Structure 1
Amino acid sequence: MSVARIPRGKAWAAAISAVLVTLTLPTVTATPAAATTTAYDSTYYKNAIGKTGTSLKSSLHTIISSQSKISYDAVWNALKTTDQDPNNTANVVLLYSGTSRSKNLNGGAVGDWNREHTWAQSHGNFGTSAGPGTDLHHLRAADVQVNSIRGNKDFDNGGSAVSGAPGSYTDSDSFEPRDADKGDVARMILYMAVRYEGDDAWADLEPNESTTNGSVRFHGRLSVLKQWNEQDPPSAFEERRNDIIFTTYQGNRNPFIDHPEWVEAIW
């Protein structure tokens, strides 16, 4: 039996190359972040589509600044609708704990729920006046005691467990919500940073990397909020809430619920 000679040197290399050319390897390409398509892209968001960075932020600010304002007293009844428990229409779902509690237990006593300003009122000194102080896109029903523990702290990871809010943690200068609320918090904070740019009666609200903002117009921690936005995508509860605020109360939307990828496009 004859044995084929194995080419050596350049001839050998050429033969190997010829064999490799015949092998088809899968093409590896980077997969870009999926862009969300919504029913509002050709109408409400039409002037923002395709933009990035400061141009996108500016366009979104113009879009969402067209807004009806409600009183702080009216927020009570609004939250009973926006935060309604989908499994029990007599209750609301509380931020930070996920507890379902009777709509009638709103107030200031232990066991009640009250109106949590996710963007702390002191971070820009807007209080409860109509505007940022009553903007439903960052106001949520929360347990009175848990709300007090959060106070006006910035958001970050770490700390000790929060009593009454399993999965939430806090330390001297920051608060970490439970995993199911992390994205909600991030998108509420970043909505405020786009909606309030200092061109009306209110401060220019902006995110930063600090966890000691206290009473200045900033809220941290941006890098962590971006992680939370990725980690916890918009839920059906969040999307329903956005729709109700848009159609029933304020006439504007939180763009980061509709397009969570816009967080990275801006920041």
Structure 2
Amino acid sequence: MSATPLRRWRTVALTTATVLVALTAPTLTAAPALATTTAYDTTYYKNAVGKSGTSLKSALHTIISSQSKLSYAQLWDALKVTDQDPNNSNNVVLLYSGISRSKSLNGGNVGDWNREHVWAISHGNLTTSTGPGTDLHHIRPEDVQVNSTRSNKDFDEGGSTFTNSGGSRTDSDSFEPRDAVKGDVARMILYMAVRYEGGDGFADLEPDEKVNNGSTPYIGKLSVLKRWNDEDPPDAFEERRNQVIYDSYQHNRNPFVDHPEWVDAIW
């Protein structure tokens, strides 16, 4: 066989293989969160380590339900500590927009930052009375107008950016946070679903697989939140925030910041 036909045969085989890969390659998904260990595993989490599914969720609920509670007014000063800009101690970092803004600009006017409920108040009638509506683990500083844009929308992907979005996007029925805090949002939502199980006179909060949940005690989409948890693991800012809430305010932890792999272990 001459050299020329051999080269032609190799070219055809390579082209065919390329086509087959393009037709049959599976859709890539985020790898599950890696297992972690913390200094709290033998103390705070000792009754949860090694469990999974409903047993793990129940154990974590019991653990994190022991907490000090803040009033809605107390959140102002707490957020100035938990969300302090690591590069400028006079500022807080706004969740969805990523903007660093003066701590003194808290309020309800354009240009101010206010208290964003990541688990929207209307999803289960949280109210601003002491309870889930004042749980610091899911309250974050945000620009007044950006907060209004998010409104009570469920979380999903898609839509368009907007003024001061920082890369966050929205459409008619959902909100997509900027990439740097997608995991943060997922872990806050899932914390709320474990902490509030229908006791204390509050609604049983749960994630589900849809948007447009309205006033029901559900927020979606769970599959998207799980993927965000895997794609955006906890960073130093989120870990510090969890520690400050534990040490100085509520004295409970968000277990998914310490153990992001527990998201897949439960859901």
TM-score range, shorter chain: 0.7 to 0.9
Which AA in structure 2 matches 1:149?
Answer: T
Aligned partner of residue 145 in structure 1, secondary structure: helix
After TM superposition, give the deviation of residue 52 of structure 1 in Å. Answer: 0.3
After TM superposition, give the deviation of residue 128 of structure 1 in Å. Answer: 0.6
| 1:155 aligned residue | 155
| 2:213 aligned residue | 213
| Distance of 1:61 and 1:225 partners within structure 2 | 19
Aligned partner of residue 101 in structure 1, secondary structure: strand
After TM superposition, give the deviation of residue 210 of structure 1 in Å. Answer: 1.1
| Distance of 2:110 and 2:246 partners within structure 1 | 32
| Distance of 1:43 and 1:198 partners within structure 2 | 26
Counterparts of 1:162-177 in structure 2 under 5 Å?
162-177=162-177
Query: What is the CA deviation profile of residues 18-55 of structure 1, one whole-angstrom value per residue up to 9, with x for unaligned ones?
Result: xxxxxxxxxxxxx9863100000000000000000000
1:232 paired with 2:232, answer yes
Which AA in structure 2 matches 1:243?
Answer: Q
| 1:70 aligned residue | 70
| 1:144 aligned residue | 144
1:127 paired with 2:127, answer yes
| 1:46 aligned residue | 46
Give aligned pairs, total.
237
Where in structure 1 do 4 or more consecutive aligned residues deviate above 4 Å?
Answer: none
% identity of equivalent residues: 75
After TM superposition, give the deviation of residue 199 of structure 1 in Å. Answer: 1.7
Which AA in structure 2 matches 1:174?
Answer: S
Unaligned runs of 5+ in 1: 1-30
| 1:26 aligned residue | none
TM-score for the superposition, normalised by structure 2: 0.87
1:243 paired with 2:265, answer no
More helix by share: 2
After TM superposition, give the deviation of residue 182 of structure 1 in Å. Answer: 0.2
Cα pair distance change 1:62/1:163, threshold 3 Å: same
Q: Flag the structure with larger Rg.
A: 1
Cα pair distance change 1:33/1:104, threshold 3 Å: closer
1:91 paired with 2:91, answer yes
After TM superposition, give the deviation of residue 162 of structure 1 in Å. Answer: 2.3
| Distance of 1:200 and 1:177 partners within structure 2 | 31
Unaligned runs of 5+ in 2: 1-30
| Distance of 1:182 and 1:54 partners within structure 2 | 25
Which AA in structure 1 matches 2:185?
Answer: V
| 1:252 aligned residue | 252
